[in-house]
Amino acid sequence: MSTAATPTPAPPRRRDRTTYLYLAVVLAVIAGAVFGLLAPKAALEAKPLGTGFVNLIKMMISPIIFCTIVLGVGSVRRAASVGRVGGLALGYFLVMSTVALAIGLVIGNLLHPGAGLHLTAAAKAAGAKQAANAPASTVDFLLGVIPTSLFSSLTAGAVLQTLLVALLVGFALHAIGPSGRAILTGVEHLQRLVFRILAMIMWLAPIGAFGAIAAVVGAGGWKAIESLLQIMLGFYLTCAIFVFVVLGALLRTVAGVNILLLLRYLAREFLLILGTSSSESALPRLVAKMEHLGVSRTVVGLTVPTGYSFNLDGTAIYLTMASLFIADALGNPLSVGQQVSLLLFMIIASKGAAGVTGAGLSTLAGGLQAHRPELVDGVGLIVGIDRFMSEARALTNFAGNAVATVLVGKWTGGFDRERCAEVLAGNAPFDERTMLDDHAPAPASEDPDPTSTPTTTLTPAAG
């Protein structure tokens, strides 16, 4: 007599321990703020904790960008599709930066936040110091995209240099053909290693957030920002309008995705940015999460790194409102023509500076120095609150890049709408341990050559 075979029970799902990690980050931010208020001098000594954590994250950015772009470009059947993705992305970045700039101009002219403030000797000195750190010219910026050597971009930490080298390597592997598959497989294994190291570093996030917040609050305190709350609140409001109204409407219309669900999916990354005041700290996780969401590897590999240098929505709003604030505070308001010419110059000058803490302030000083040098000293008026404004512009830049990745994927056929709905509904959770999964959407334009050897697919480690 035969007996029916009993089905093997499914292994229990492992608890996501990273939930406790991000709860610890929240507590660390609160504790850091309290510590900064109660013991400001001691809190300043905690700044290296935040700086060290951000530096650890930056250490991983170049390898992650390199692996992502090489794998995306190297596996594309038609090289022309890479140019199409890149062209659409750059065109979108230009349009949205202009929209962000226009919104900042409108609200800044309505609020006139700088009226009634006076420039002190200390603020004047602070402005002059920031002008000395102003970014280089546009020509120097373009020449700086070329690295010293093929491998120096991986150690210099320059996002655009890494992007250039990774594109060259990807196209070279594409030209090699089937014999380059072994190299692609090796890069896939390297990507797994890099993401695992990143997952280990992330456990230091609470320490980094505590040190960063404690130092900021300890240095400024609440009295330092009382007289400047108007521009801060106005800037926060402008960023919120841009993200939820402009980007939200665009995302819903083009891709059919709810902006609130997307932001909830990226909640941990926003928390990380809030603690470190740098959108660069969340760049590697954005790459992994956008692929998991259903955006093709090629679109993610090209759009995310490029967006970190060219899609400066939050920075555009900041430069706009800060310039108007300084001009009003010094009693020398800008005409409409001066506003447009000055701010277009600063948008160009800021390329490559996105995500770097404090870069917006030096970019602002550089733009004023080049166009209205009599306003440079006024930069010192906002030095005390720049860190708090840096939080908002970093969050806005990050949200803009996430939305841009989905939109470019939709326009180029590299977006899996069903997969996105499944992920946003919580039915396909992101693997926090490896930051990689076996889902790799492959639109028709990215199918590998059927005559070549298929690429090895990596799946998450079991234990």
Query: In sequence order, what DSSP letters do the residues of 150-176 get, joined into one string?
Result: TTTHHHH--HHHHHHHHHHHHHHHHHH
Strand, helix or coil for residue 278:
coil
Q: By C-alpha distance, which of 147, 167, 149 is closest to 89?
A: 167
Largest CA distance in the chain: 98
Q: What is the reported pLDDT for 360?
A: 65
Minimum mean pLDDT among 33-47, 143-157, 286-300: which range?
A: 143-157
DSSP secondary structure code for residue 145 in this structure: T
Domains of the chain: 89-150+222-439 (1.10.3860.10)
Report in angstroms the alpha-carbon separations of 395 from 175, 240, 391: 39, 10, 6
Name the more confident of 96 and 114: 96
pLDDT in tens, 342-351: 767 666 655 5
Q: Which residues contact 124 (CB under 8 A, 6 or more apart)?
A: 377, 380
Residue range 235-257, pLDDT digits in tens: 888 899 999 999 999 999 999 99
282-296 pLDDT tens trace: 888 888 899 899 998
User: Model pTM?
Assistant: 0.68
- For residues 238 and 321, is the Cβ–Cβ distance under 8 A? yes
Q: What is the pLDDT of residue 400?
A: 92
| Eight-state DSSP code of residue 41 | H
Task: Compute the average pLDDT of residues 186-205.
Answer: 82
Asked if residues 292 and 437 have their Cβ atoms less than 8 Å apart, the reply is yes
In 3D space, the residue among 357, 370, 183, 195 whose CA is nearest the CA of residue 286 turns out to be 195
Which residues, in sequence order, are CB contacts of 273 under 8 Å at separation 6+?
279, 281, 282, 391, 394, 395, 398
135, 142, 169: which is closest to 65 by C-alpha?
A: 169
Give the span between the Cα atoms of 135 and 131, in whole angstroms.
9
Count Cβ neighbours within 10 Å for each residue of 72-89 and write b for 16 or more, e otherwise: bbbbbbeeebbebbbebb
Predicted confidence at residue 421, as pLDDT, reads 92
C-alpha separations of 1 from 4, 7, 166 in Å: 10, 19, 64
